[in-house]
Structure 1
């Protein structure tokens, strides 16, 4: 899938040689992976000869080379000692006491003079310019309201840059680099206008999300891998990179939903909360559409493109449109973002994406991964990030499921599986959904999994848990951190409708990016659905040891996973279970 010659040209491209972009660069040295890849993508779109692609926007920005980082780090005489102590607070404090070079402050001052919207200060390290290692969530990117005097705004931006510089030496980044044998890193910086616009006291884009030129988590064989996939939300796109609710569109057929057409399932998987910048509070806030929909109508008279009213009539549920005449009935009803009418009303958006993603893949020589914001009313698409997409073990079609006659299959999946084989894993860690669903402290369960991970040493294991592993919302799944799963070789997410725990196509989240990098196999199993198997009897009757929390069980023996991405089928087999666990 890689075109090495094209890939070499991609990495050789230097924005300093581009007369349009070179004035945006400040300081010596490379500008890092995020910065260089974004400018490369914009250059290719503008040179495409396609007016729709050439019109894709990039926000006014400044890109700091790693030479600035070197100058700042050189001001800290005891940096080596601080690094040995691995004290994040002391490191950040040391960087905050430095001063950015005068030419950098002047360039930023000039930039901010004409910039009154919020700005984002983003990391763009050298190692982020990598095919395999995205560093998703490992460094720091932050927004600033950008209000006050020019000097106050300048100082705020400089401080955020210094904070990001210190993150090079924070434990999260150090452990990630050590785990993957990546060595030292250096930091470039992007300062860019935040995507969106002011709507009353709040600032946000109408929609934001991520896109991929390859769909490696197909929920049906009717979806073509090479057509790509979009994952996006109403409001700031930050929520699309987390394991919450987002709308997923296959560019094969944007009307096909991963959850199917059933109104109840659509409602259960639909986004209800969205993020905006609150200008009065000066911070990022999360709002609930069920409470704000009337206010949203004043800014979005076409809200029905994005949101619908779900209500019940007897045992049946159905959707209706949302407008000024909407009245919430006394019986169960919920307003949520379904984007049901979006494909029909916003066809130019999908037409553009179907051309944009293949062009970027062709230009880079590897599949493409983008972040974007979109204003449907004006048909304005803004590109926020572009980088190579590492697909690792997900390259569908290489694995085959053997004859399993005489072997005990305990889990089977029929969608969104990784492609790969994992045999003779000695440990299976299971989270009992019946205990987890009534557990008052969900985080205690997550920490218990982390403790098991730590005590297993170098033993690999399979994790089977309800809902979305790694979700920031514990009601959707166990909020375990990825660094607590370092020995996990396979994750099986259980969809248990009666407890409300349902996996979700989260391809594009930071969590899944780490799964791909580490070649961790994945499959979701939906209890009660055709072609799915969850053998709960086996989990109750097989011998196990209780983990650090009553919801956590540890089974020992020999477990194997076989996943065929081409056929979209996965199974987990228990060949042996040891007694006296």
Structure 2
């Protein structure tokens, strides 16, 4: 590793927004020509067609529209009626003189650029010597080459945009100094041809077609000067952004007393004088002298200028070669300084990055001393790196290896910056460990894919997220397999009939696992493996998932596969995982959910996200320091928290633990010192995390199951303690002194308290959570739920990864009543800790778990099955019900509550967690139900009548006849509807008993 001086070691590259460049365009061109010239242009030259072809071939949009007229009257009419950006006058007969026409046009529209095209003859040359040329913007020699029209348009557009574009992005300028009209009329089309071709080539550095089209706007501008003073003035104005100067030798130049010397011929050494002056200012800028007088070659070479012979039959070939070699166009060719032979060649920025440490010492020194690297990057519109490297001159740092390191670091930072916030098209030649987010295929990214791309974009536009020295905020490396591959897979393998059948989930999965993915993905996957070198999460991203209005959170599968050295084994596992995610669209639960949401299953399409798993490896285990879910609306505020301050659920290990309803630490980002679960020793010991999830890296096989957690280990916290992964997130219980101490100490049980990151400022987690939820909610214009994971390092640095964002769909119903005023006796249920918002009056049924003295949590799995059967009947009848049961609904630990999944209870309109005398479980937090509850406006009540918290008139339910009764569950029906009212901001909810006199249900 080279020893890079501190001043060059830390730097920040500012991105360039190409969309703000070339904003002023020529859209409408008026050509004033006699009928013969007009015919020549229209029929023989087909100017419109050629210009259109030129534009489309170069990938430029908005080709100009041409209007042709023959007389001043017609021109006046067009100028009055249409917004014209450029007038081209072609001289013809005596009564239609170009100079006269131009004067008249300027009189009508003084601000419109006016150009004269003239076929050159001795008479016209003479005429122009006596003409006031200042009224024309440019005069060109017309030899029937329609490419000249394109050059004229580009030259004028460059003039219109140069000042803004240099200031905005550091765009480069090529200065052409030439007073011979005939000569510059033939040089300019060639020069623009090279430049536009170069912009087409360098646009391939972009990550997707849209960005490529925009990058072309960063091409170098051409400015034409026709005398010494004009040339020097232009150079002095744009000296810092001059890519190169191409100058004639003889052209007009004022004498010291202010008169033009040699008016007709020009000063014979004006070009040499100009280039000398420029060289004094800049020792590196390429200077090319051109002349038809061969003796000027020796003069140019003597002063270190390059030379072009105007009389050469291959002048254009020479010009192109010189531009490629000296102005940084084309490939970067590294040469041996002694023999001038090629020693290496790079075509792209990534190739330069890959080869910078392999370039021979002498060759690299030769190019660095002459600033060639910076110029090559400039010509490719890679301005941030170019500007930075331009400062690191050989004078300041005479150490080739240090330069290598600086160039490498600058490219890496630039590529990282360019990758953020952009959905790139996956390219095997560009995707490496510095790549970021790419798509394979042309279809949709799906809901989660869109959410990730959106998060990435938020990170790019809000650099304040990365303001902390010890914390980086990013999304994991991601490749999305778009929905078109799903369609191909289903069609090629004839899977529709089994998928849409009533076959059991395992049967559907086996059919999908036997099917084949397209072979053209294999090479892409291998490139992806090499780039990430971590385990891979294979996540569903369906069209309906995480959409603004129908969040399908947690319905489809997410698999994880370990990282292996055997790429073919990894490929086989990845293919199984992708096919398993595809199969999950057609599982019974998914179909039930589709029915509940009134969606049609065959409209669902699945994209698949392949993503590095955030975490560190500990032996055969892999997991992040912690994961979390952040919600910008807090339906359980405590103390001085407010609903709008949001809430986070934090857990050691993989986030699946949170999704499965495990015990998490609940904290408001604005009140990190106020954590209910750790406020007292008894609650800290009882209500904090005792288990966590980790990926089993040793589980390698083809035993993919419907359960996507088949290779996820459920471990005790003491395993993480043994792994050494609890630094900064745990406290230690001292049984001798009966106290809990922040930090890790020998012996004693470890409490997952997050004390280091919440209270001790080891890592700026509260600030990152505040910013994430604020920016997320602002950008989505609604409350949001954000999933995240974080790796903490022993040196107190960390990487904070945003994994997903989705809206919390808020009910718009307004509550006019104060629910507190309703008497208890009118309520079947009352909760002072409810989730949900709105009013409904169409439910007559209540399903509840029998909680007599024989109740035991050991029966909870059987209770879940009974409820699922009853729920299916409600779905078939398109009806809803109120569900009441003890403990935490949806917990994966059936001792804490009934282990149902959302599709098993999707017909419920209100779900009630009821406390029992000897069965106390804290209010549910962190399950994926939260998202589905809010999207469907489902209420979630927590009631514990044994502690005086709320009302549940269970005796009324017990006295009613059962519509259906199983061993553990009763279903009763009221004759008239119950009225459900929920106030989401005050966290209160009631279910009112039917009042006498209300209508019978229809």
- Give the TM-score normalised by structure 1: 0.84
Q: 2:768 is matched with which residue: 338, 352, 359?
A: 352
Secondary structure of residue in 1 paired with 2:980: strand
Q: Kindly provide the CA deviation profile for residues 87-110 of structure 1, in whole angstroms up to 9, marking residues without a partner as x.
A: 544543443344333332211111
Partner of 1:285: 713
CA RMSD of aligned residues (A): 3.2
Answer yes or no: is 1:378 the counterpart of 2:797. Answer: yes
Where does the alignment leave 5 or more consecutive residues of structure 2 unmatched? 1-206, 212-417, 427-437, 701-710, 997-1002
Secondary structure of residue in 1 paired with 2:692: strand
Q: CA deviation at 1:399?
A: 6.1
Q: 2:810 is matched with which residue: 391, 401, 415?
A: 391
Counterparts of 1:538 and 1:259 in 2: how far apart (Å)? Answer: 33
Secondary structure of residue in 2 paired with 1:169: coil
Secondary structure of residue in 2 paired with 1:471: coil
Distance 1:122 1:270, change over 3 A: same
Answer yes or no: is 1:128 the counterpart of 2:521. Answer: no
Q: CA deviation at 1:275?
A: 0.9
Kept in 1: contact 2:836–2:940 (CA 8 A): yes
Q: 2:989 is matched with which residue: 550, 570, 573?
A: 570
Kept in 2: contact 1:210–1:230 (CA 8 A): yes
Partner of 1:501: 921
Kept in 2: contact 1:494–1:501 (CA 8 A): no
Which structure has more relative contact order (CA 8 Å, sep 6+)? It is 1
Distance 1:136 1:15, change over 3 A: farther
Q: CA deviation at 1:547?
A: 5.5
Partner of 2:487: 70
Q: Kindly provide the CA deviation profile for residues 133-166 of structure 1, in whole angstroms up to 9, marking residues without a partner as x.
A: 2222222210001324112212221222122223
The 10-residue stretch of structure 1 (32-41 or 274-283) with the greater mean CA deviation from structure 2: 274-283
| 1:174-573 equivalent positions in 2, closer than 5 A | 174-183=591-600, 184-215=603-634, 217-220=635-638, 222-257=640-675, 261-281=679-699, 283-289=711-717, 291-292=718-719, 294-296=721-723, 298-300=724-726, 302=727, 305-309=729-733, 319-321=740-742, 323-327=744-748, 335-346=750-761, 348-376=764-792, 377-392=796-811, 400-401=818-819, 403-405=821-823, 407-423=825-841, 425-435=843-853, 437-438=855-856, 440-455=858-873, 457-496=877-916, 498-506=918-926, 509-529=927-947, 532-535=949-952, 538=955, 542-545=959-962, 548-557=965-974, 559-573=978-992
Counterparts of 1:52 and 1:544 in 2: how far apart (Å)? Answer: 62
Distance 1:292 1:502, change over 3 A: same
Counterparts of 1:533 and 1:53 in 2: how far apart (Å)? Answer: 46
Partner of 2:85: none
Counterparts of 1:50 and 1:396 in 2: how far apart (Å)? Answer: 37
Counterparts of 1:521 and 1:306 in 2: how far apart (Å)? Answer: 34
Q: 2:451 is matched with which residue: 23, 37, 47?
A: 37
The 10-residue stretch of structure 1 (262-271 or 334-343) with the greater mean CA deviation from structure 2: 334-343
Partner of 2:525: 108
Answer yes or no: is 1:169 the counterpart of 2:583. Answer: no
Answer yes or no: is 1:48 the counterpart of 2:462. Answer: yes
What number of residue pairs does the alignment pair up? 546
Counterparts of 1:415 and 1:510 in 2: how far apart (Å)? Answer: 19
Counterparts of 1:319 and 1:536 in 2: how far apart (Å)? Answer: 41
Q: Kindly provide the CA deviation profile for residues 301-330 of structure 1, in whole angstroms up to 9, marking residues without a partner as x.
A: x35x324427599xxx75345634334xxx
Distance 1:53 1:367, change over 3 A: farther
Counterparts of 1:143 and 1:542 in 2: how far apart (Å)? Answer: 50
Who wins on radius of gyration, i.e. which is larger? 2
Counterparts of 1:421 and 1:528 in 2: how far apart (Å)? Answer: 27
Q: Kindly provide the CA deviation profile for residues 146-190 of structure 1, in whole angstroms up to 9, marking residues without a partner as x.
A: 324112212221222122223333333233223323331111111
Where does the alignment leave 5 or more consecutive residues of structure 1 unmatched? 1-13, 328-333
Q: CA deviation at 1:410?
A: 4.8
The 10-residue stretch of structure 1 (457-466 or 31-40) with the greater mean CA deviation from structure 2: 457-466
Q: CA deviation at 1:498?
A: 2.5
Counterparts of 2:872 and 2:501 in 1: how far apart (Å)? Answer: 23
* Structure with greater helix percent: 2
Counterparts of 2:966 and 2:675 in 1: how far apart (Å)? Answer: 36
Answer yes or no: is 1:149 the counterpart of 2:576. Answer: no
Distance 1:58 1:426, change over 3 A: closer
Q: CA deviation at 1:416?
A: 4.1
Secondary structure of residue in 2 paired with 1:136: coil
- Give the TM-score normalised by structure 2: 0.50
Kept in 1: contact 2:881–2:909 (CA 8 A): yes
Counterparts of 2:725 and 2:639 in 1: how far apart (Å)? Answer: 39
Counterparts of 2:987 and 2:814 in 1: how far apart (Å)? Answer: 9
Secondary structure of residue in 1 paired with 2:819: coil
